[in-house]
Amino acid sequence: MDIKYDTMADVMYITVRKGQVAQTIKQDKSLIDVDNEGNVLGIEILDISSSQELIQNLKKNVEKGVPISIERITPVLV
């Protein structure tokens, strides 16, 4: 599992497993990437800073040593 947080876009992406995305499902403030078999590959959470409980849990995981990268990179769509 890999977790990335883009501070500029206020988006968190959680990679669950590697694979080729066949479909992206929108659910509330999240986008869920799945493969052809319906396995979850990753979850993108939009407007993440509005979820204080999730942010607090993220901080606890960082303190425990869970590898989380916090970046300032907003991708540019071409």
Cβ atoms within 10 Å, residue 18:
9
- Within a domain: residue 56? yes
- Within a domain: residue 76? no
pLDDT score recorded for residue 44: 94
- Within a domain: residue 8? yes
**In terms of pLDDT, which residue wins out, 41 or 78?**
41
Which residues form the domain of 17? 2-71
pTM: 0.70
DSSP annotation of 40 reads: E
- Within a domain: residue 78? no
**In terms of pLDDT, which residue wins out, 36 or 59?**
36
| 8: region left, alpha or beta (phi > 0 left; psi from -120 to 50 alpha) | alpha
